[in-house]
Amino acid sequence: MNNQYARREVFCRNTCHELKRFWEREIGKQTYYRESEEHRLGRSALRKLREEWKQRLETKLRLRNNQDETEKQADVGRELLASLTPEDTKP
């Protein structure tokens, strides 16, 4: 027979409330540590820095895309002007 079962009855009969309090304290400690870590991470500057860099990159990409579109429009305008001959521009 397994000795664990016999011990359990004796152990639980004498210290059941102590065991319950012990685990409640342990769970409370772990909860406190988890919450304090979440709070610390919430105050961390790293998240703010990442968000700022993300915004900067998005802004640069938007400017680059707008610049490409502007260059395309300018190229079309130059082609149009180049296609016009000096005779066509005379009134």
Backbone φ and ψ of 37, nearest 5°: -65, -40
How far separated are the first and last CA of the chain, in Å rounded? 115
- 2 pLDDT more than 70: no
Tens digit of pLDDT for each residue in 27-79? 999 999 999 998 988 888 888 888 899 999 999 888 888 877 777 777 777 77
In terms of pTM, does the model score above 0.75?
Answer: no
CA 8 to CA 2: how far, in whole Å?
11
Token match 């304290």: residue?
25
pLDDT of residue 14: 61
Give residues with Cβ within 8 angstroms of 47, minimum separation 6: 41
CA 56 to CA 24: how far, in whole Å?
47
